[in-house]
Amino acid sequence: MLNRQGRESAPTGTSRPAAAGMPGHRGLQLEEPLSFEQGQAGRSGVDLPPLPVGEDCLGGLARQGEIGLPGLSEPQTVRHFVRLSRQNYAIDMGAYPLGSCTMKHNPRLNEKLARLPGFADLHPLQPLSTVQGALELIDRLAHWLKILTNMPAVAMSPAAGAHGELCGLMTIRAALAAAGDARQRVLVPESAHGTNPATAAICGYQVESIPAGPDGRIELAALTARLGPDVAALMLTNPNTCGLFENEILAVAEAVHAAGAYFYCDGANFNAIVGRVRPGDLGIDAMHINLHKTFSTPHGGGGPGAGPVVLSERLAPFAPLPYVVHGPQGFRLVEQAGEPGHAPIGRMKSFHGQMGMFVRALAYMMSHGADGLAQAAGDAVLGANYLLARLSDVMSASFPGPCMHEALFDDRFLKDTGVTTLDFAKALIDAGYHPMTMYFPLVVHGALLFEPTESESRESLDELIATLRRLAAAAQAGAVEDFRAAPRYAPRRRLDETMAARKPVLRWRPAQGGTAK
């Protein structure tokens, strides 16, 4: 198999078993048991003083048996988690081309500001008089989100994308109910994110799919044929999950509104158009914004996420509680219904939102400025089209013409090679890269979806492109067994993904006459 530099590398190991008499280490990658398997009774990394009272003072709550925590020394604990962290791939290690996820660089300036005293040590139950600066920051961030989208209102509390979708659809449902309109259907294009139909179903709507056209975009004729007096909303992703701008979006909005329905836009891909296109100008009624995609706040374990929802004038009165208002006495949180002109849907969560993410997002906006955000969007689109142009002769592009922020290929270039999209992705791990998104969007067979973002330099993209070209050539040359054996150099070999999905083992249990699991 070819390594990242294209040189032949000898295969090693299978599932990393220890050789006879050896611990299974390889270079600086160290094998070790689970923390529970290392633990020993009576061992601890801390010394605790004896209880000054007897067990009779515990009200009968004294522990009756072991609680199942491993007994580890401090060095054992530190080494264990450092070793685990080295098995993770991260944006700080290399290109992370997951399509539809926008794995962009998280500037360290943002992290520094989020750790400032007064932000890092806030408590949600502090008196409002002690958090005026934090409320002003939330208000300032909300202001710029409204400016960038040309929308009159924004709900800041939703926790991430799917939660934002729920917020938007709940405001739509509330607006229809207030008008005495009991519509039952929500239309969702085939190219939408999978959370869109799930959100509509959770809100009690019947979901109807709208087919994508041969160009990867929504078919306007199919949409208008399904619009009717029982349609509550259309949930459209723009740019969509094929990495394409919906170029008939104005006509789509006009048709939806003419039918008395609302236009919900999934804003997960706002990173491709921020500073260049304002969703409010497109006739959108509600759109969530992933701060962890567009405005560089961390993903996943580095999160949590944040998904503010911008709302049109018709939906603004139904925005959830709480929200920040600014008056003569300073900033305050409206936490109860009763404000004139407002009929809030209630709370989406206990408190106002993810303060650490708000700090990071505003820092990103202020350090870039409006021109810088527009350039970031342009660079993201440029990088994706560079990838598309450099690979289209060896990989099969799914749709003709340029793309937006992500380049989409399908598995036609692997036809008759015996190599699948999954095999190709696993081989990319051996080459030193996190794989692209596989098998999504579902409208494309064997999809390979790449999103380089604006974070990658031309040199970084050239290295990724060269690796992908070598892998495509190896597949065409018949190196099927090499692909099926990949990954060879990861901490673990290929898993049984079907078994992992259907019968996951999510908890370690001590051995009872057999093997621990």
Q: Do the Cβ atoms of 471 and 428 come closer than 8 Å?
A: yes
Question: Burial code of 188-214, b = ≥16 C-beta within 10 A, e = fewer?
Answer: bbbbbbebbbebbeebebeeeebebee
pLDDT digits (tens, 9 = 90+) for 157-190: 999 889 999 999 999 999 999 999 999 999 999 8
Q: Identify the band that residue 60 occupies on the pLDDT scale cut at 50, 70 and 90.
A: confident
3-state SS track over 317-336: HHCCECEEEEECCEEEEECC
Least confident of 203-217, 340-354, 387-401: 340-354
- The more confident residue out of 61 and 419 is 419
Cis peptide before 402 (omega within 30 of 0): no
Confidence of residue 5 (pLDDT cuts 50, 70, 90): very low
In the chain, % of residues over pLDDT 90: 72
Tokens of 334: 């409206």
Q: For the whole model, what pTM was predicted?
A: 0.88
Predicted confidence band of residue 23 (pLDDT cuts 50, 70, 90): low
**Is the pLDDT score of 463 beyond 90?**
yes
393: tokens are 């002769």
- Between CA 142 and CA 148 the distance in angstroms is 10
Residues 67 and 208: their CA atoms lie apart, in Å, by 50
Question: pLDDT tens digits, residue range 88-104?
Answer: 888 888 999 999 889 99
Structure-model confidence comparison of residues 27 and 95, the more confident one:
95
Q: List CB contacts of 71: < 8 A, sequence separation 6 or more.
A: 39, 40, 41, 42, 43, 44
Domains with residue ranges and CATH for the chain: 109-364 (3.40.640.10), 369-491 (3.90.1150.10)
| Distance (Å, whole) CA 481 – CA 11 | 12
| pLDDT bracket for residue 55 (50, 70, 90) | low
pLDDT at 19 over 80: no
Mean pLDDT of 3-28: 51
Percentages helix, strand, coil for the chain (3-state, rounded to 5) are 35, 10, 50
pLDDT at 10: 39
The token duo for 461 is 């993209």
Stretch 500-510: mean pLDDT: 86
**Better pLDDT: 145 or 100:** 145
Closest to 220 (Cα-Cα) out of 184, 169, 256? 256
Contact 313, 338 (CB under 8 A): no
Q: Which letter does DSSP use for residue 173 in this model? A: H
Determine how many CB atoms are found less than 10 A away from the CB of residue 464. 25
Contact of 357 with 306, CB cutoff 8 Å: yes
Complete DSSP assignment for 246-302:
-TTHHHHHHHHHHTT-EEEEEETTGGGTTTT--GGGGT-SEEEE-HHHHS-PPPGGG
Mean pLDDT (whole number) for 222-250 = 96
Contact between residue 32 and residue 83 where contact means Cβ atoms under 8 Å apart:
yes
pLDDT tens digits along 319-366: 999 999 998 989 999 999 988 889 999 999 888 888 999 999 999 999
- 69 token code pair: 């925590």
What's the pLDDT band for 301 if we cut at 50, 70, 90? low
21-43: average pLDDT = 80
Nearest Cα to 266, choosing from 180, 353, 158?
A: 158
- Alpha carbons within 13 angstroms on the beta-carbon side of residue 470 total 18
Of residues 394 and 193, the one with the higher pLDDT is 394
Local structure of residue 411 (DSSP, 8 states): G
pLDDT of residue 229: 96
First to last CA, the chain: 33
pLDDT the model gives residue 21: 54
The pLDDT of residue 302 is 53
Q: Which pLDDT tens digit goes with each residue over 399-457? A: 999 999 999 999 999 999 999 999 999 999 999 999 999 999 989 999 999 999 999 99
Stretch among 1-10, 39-48, 106-115, 140-149 having the lowest mean pLDDT: 1-10
Q: Mean pLDDT highest for which of 4-13, 47-56, 336-345, 454-463?
A: 454-463
Query: How does the average pLDDT of the chain come out, rounded?
Result: 90
pLDDT at site 296 = 93
| Greater model confidence, 244 or 338 | 244
What is the arithmetic mean of pLDDT over 301-326?
A: 90
Q: In sequence order, what DSSP letters do the residues of 81-146 get, joined into one string?
A: HHHHHTTS--TTTS---BTTT------HHHHHHHTSTTTTT--TTS-GGG-HHHHHHHHHHHHHHH
One DSSP character per residue, 49-65 reads PPPSS-GGGGTT----S
Over residues 10-31, mean pLDDT: 59
